[in-house]
Amino acid sequence: MRLFALIFSSFLCSLISAEHVTVTYHFWEKNEKIVEKVEWFTKFVANSNRFWTSNLVFQQHNEKIDRVQISSESWKSAVIEEPVTFPLDTFFVELFQKFADKLYTNLALDSLPIFDAGELKKSLKNFEIFEKDETEETFPFDFWMKIGENELKTRNRDRFVLFTRADSFEHWEAISHFLDALKRSKQIGYVVDCKNENSGCWAHGVDENPTLFSFKLDNFDDHLEARFRGKFQKDQVYDWILTTKQPEVKLLNEELVPSYRSGMVPGFDRARETVTILFIDTKKSQIWRNYAKFARENHGRFHLTALVSEEVKKWSIYPAFITMKPYDPFVKAFTLHKDLNWNRMVDYLEDGVHPGCHQLSSPSDFLFATGTQKPLVVFFDPLDSKNSEGFKKSAAEQQSGDRIAHFSAVTGFDLFGLYVMSVFNVNSPSYIVIRRQEKGWCIHTKPAENDNFTGILSWVRNLEPVHCQELIENFKFPIARLNLLERYDDVEELEKGFTAVEWTRDEL
């Protein structure tokens, strides 16, 4: 039996599986201009959404008013229907925004699956990848599960320990991503149950939240390597585990630099999105000491490397950071070589993990893009009628300077992007500045015309954060709820992999 059928009493439909939208043109007598537009927009919405398909239905009715209906039944039921108005482009943009708004609003109002921790523990006994018996390895805490090969079969001295209570979805989410990360990375780890007054929990300051540490074998008390400070979502745990196995600062020679410049880090099967190299002539400098301190405090979060050589002086008067972005379509690398004080360095490295131009195709995308103190500037162009490529290129080029904001472009009929813009009351090409506040979202907008990027930056700089053009209160934009549903869906996808062993055994 599948694990989620036991753990959750209701089934959560996938947020990313293939879905379908139906567009219906109701007419008394076909209007060829409407036919042309409705055919184009039906294809456009499918082309704008990776996991969506669409079809068009023509239906004659007894009214002399033409109407267009958009509906979806396969994901979360949503139906919107409006009489056709002119101009047609404006009508279809507004209609699809209303549809997207209804779609995500209905999803946010849906009930969450009910978590049953008791059934979870029963189900885990069936999995061959978990060892609950005593092991020859000395482990100082009472553990619930051990994952991975026996220590006699490997020289790997790294041990990863997840302290949890396993009594809520948030804890099971952490366990799921932890198990998935260990399985993929072939590492050894333990899950410790803190509900049983385990000494290891209070010794390491574990609170009500799941907490993940990296230790060295036989040195659990004195050698805490790193603490996971990310979110138990997506690939964050997997990336962290592999990154902690790298040195805090990887020292490079000239032969290794080209590989790291392309984002290739040992242990990973694909290029990393962000890799930073410090070129410096000596470790006897405050710049190096700051870099080493930051790397030590953030081990596992960044790919930090350095080339320390007297040869650096031959081509650079000053030490320089170069950050590689192999997946950025416009800027593959950018540099910091002035004012290398602590605050500027931290800001540079923290900003470096953000792309030049964020995607906004899911709740997690939106929360990542707005998760800093800097505002998010969004270029909204639903019909792709403006120079969106120029905006994206200019946004990417901001990575080389002191960034005042992060950037995103919502172009085409991406349904989540249309939903966000609908909530923010934007339905025409515009620039939108978004700031997170305690009570909601502070919004400023201006029409997108033939603006140059310098003018956009000037507008953003002159905005006063305390004076919002519009405040969208939290209850009007249930992004946290939508993100929670996305997380439930991600955990279900992980569970499918966990139960593959069980399915195979049952078939045999």
- For the segment 224-268, what is each residue's pLDDT rounded down to a tens digit? 678 999 999 999 999 999 999 999 999 999 999 999 999 999 989
What's the CATH fold of domain 124-241?
Glutaredoxin (3.40.30)
Q: What percent of the chain has pLDDT over 70?
A: 83
pTM: 0.90
In this structure, whether the domain defined by 354-483 belongs to CATH 3.40.50.10420 is answered with no
pLDDT at 496 (0 to 100): 77
Tell me phi and psi for residue 418, to 5 degrees: -60, -40
The region of weakest confidence among 78-82, 131-135, 203-207, 244-248 is 131-135
pLDDT tens sequence across 64-120 = 999 999 999 766 789 999 999 999 999 999 999 999 999 999 999 987 777 776 656
Tell me the residue length of the chain.
Answer: 508
Q: Looking at residue 167, what is its pLDDT?
A: 78
Res 153 pLDDT > 80: no
Rounded to whole angstroms, the Cα distance separating 322 from 477 reads 38
Q: Which residue has the tokens 């410090």?
A: 278
pLDDT value of residue 256? 96
Beta strands in 341-476 (DSSP E): 376-381, 406-411, 430-436, 440-447, 470-473
Q: What residue segments make up the domains of the chain, in order of their start?
A: 19-108, 124-241, 246-353, 354-483
Residue 131 has pLDDT above 60, yes or no: no
- Whose structure tokens read 């059934």? 119
- Say which range, 175-184, 204-213, 306-315, 317-326, has the weakest mean pLDDT: 204-213
Task: Supply the DSSP string of 332-375, one letter for each residue.
Answer: SEEEE-S---HHHHHHHHHHHTS-SSB--SSHHHHHHHT-SSS-
- In this prediction, residue 219 carries a pLDDT of 55
Please give the share of the chain, as a percent, with pLDDT higher than 90. 68
Which CATH entry fits the domain spanning 19-108: 3.40.640.10, 1.20.1290.10, 3.30.70.240, 3.30.360.20? 3.30.360.20
What integer is the mean pLDDT of 361-388?
Answer: 95
The yes-or-no answer to whether 246-353 and 354-483 have a common fold is yes
CATH of 246-353, one of 3.30.70.890, 1.10.3720.10, 3.40.30.10, 1.10.150.120: 3.40.30.10
pLDDT at position 134, please? 44
Mean pLDDT of 426-436: 97
The predicted model gives 402-406 an average pLDDT of 95
